[in-house]
């Protein structure tokens, strides 16, 4: 499922005007789990306003092997596809906004993870925010829950480790209800690359 899911997200985002770049090896990269993606978790890196992608998201840290996300958003709102397969981004779930996803120690296989590359103690760029809205919309569509933005998460809402990303000031998380409203306000409709079954069909038949 991972590769077809990733390609559907890629195509859906491109169709809605987001530039998507495929990092070498992205379709074979993952943490070894098998995906069962049902929603998306958005994060901040607490790094710089990167142009391109932070190498650490591919390689991991001393205490956490990569990949650390499925996609990264750079300061210009360009999406970088890091890993099609589950990535180590979300830890365990169980925070206040986890539902309708389950409380589980195996949360990464259930959620597409996006690292928005900015410090987190100041707002992300408008281009990043807009691309994050669009990708979140597309992931719901590809996951088979089009327009149901309960499946769009911030790490703050699902974490049981006190994570507060994505933030706009020190310790201050963006408002997830506002974020969902902002997706609806874009009125993205159905023009986002078609459902997952079409992508799978195309792969089977060699059409994609
Ligand atoms: Zn996070």
pLDDT at 192 over 50: no
Q: At what angle do helices 2-15 and 196-205 cross, to 10 degrees?
A: 110
Residue 1: pLDDT band (50, 70, 90) is confident
Using the CB atoms, write b or e for 174-200: b if 16+ within 10 Å.
bebeebbebbeeeebeeebbbbbeebb
CA of 113 relative to ligand 1 center, distance in Å? 9
Residue 126's Cβ-count burial label (10 Å; 0-12, 13-18, 19+) is exposed
CA of 84 relative to ligand 1 center, distance in Å? 18
Give 64's strand partners: 61
Alpha carbon 141 to its chain's center: 13
CA of 33 relative to ligand 1 center, distance in Å? 19
The CATH number of 2-205 is 3.40.80.10
State both tokens at 183.
Answer: 């997706």
Cα dihedral sign, 8-14-17-19: positive
Tokens 């901040």 belong to residue: 44
CA of 63 relative to ligand 1 center, distance in Å? 15
Task: Give me the mean pLDDT over the 114-135 stretch.
Answer: 98
pLDDT at 64 over 70: yes
Share of the chain above pLDDT 70, in %: 91
By three-state DSSP, how is residue 79 classified? strand
Does residue 37 contact residue 47 with C-beta atoms inside 8 Å?
no
């Amino acid at each position: 499922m991972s590769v077809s899911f990733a390609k559907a997200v890629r195509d859906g985002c491109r169709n809605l005007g987001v530039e998507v770049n495929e990092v070498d090896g992205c379709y074979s990269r993952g943490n070894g789990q098998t995906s069962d993606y049902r929603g998306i978790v958005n994060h901040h890196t607490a790094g710089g306003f990167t142009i391109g992608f932070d190498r650490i998201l591919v390689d991991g840290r001393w205490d956490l092997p990569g990949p650390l996300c499925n996609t990264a958003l750079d300061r210009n709102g360009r999406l970088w596809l890091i890993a099609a397969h589950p990535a180590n981004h979300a830890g365990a779930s169980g925070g206040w906004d986890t539902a309708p996803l389950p409380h589980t120690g195996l949360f990464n296989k259930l959620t597409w993870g996006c690292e928005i590359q900015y410090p987190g103690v100041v707002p992300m760029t408008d281009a990043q925010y807009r691309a994050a809205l669009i990708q979140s919309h597309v992931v719901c569509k590809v996951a088979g829950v089009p327009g149901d933005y309960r499946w769009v998460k911030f790490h703050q809402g699902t974490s049981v480790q006190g994570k507060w990303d994505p933030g706009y000031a020190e310790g201050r998380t963006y408002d997830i209800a506002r974020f969902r409203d902002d997706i609806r306000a874009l009125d993205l409709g159905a023009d986002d690359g078609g459902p997952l079954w079409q992508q799978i069909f195309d792969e089977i038949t060699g059409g994609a």
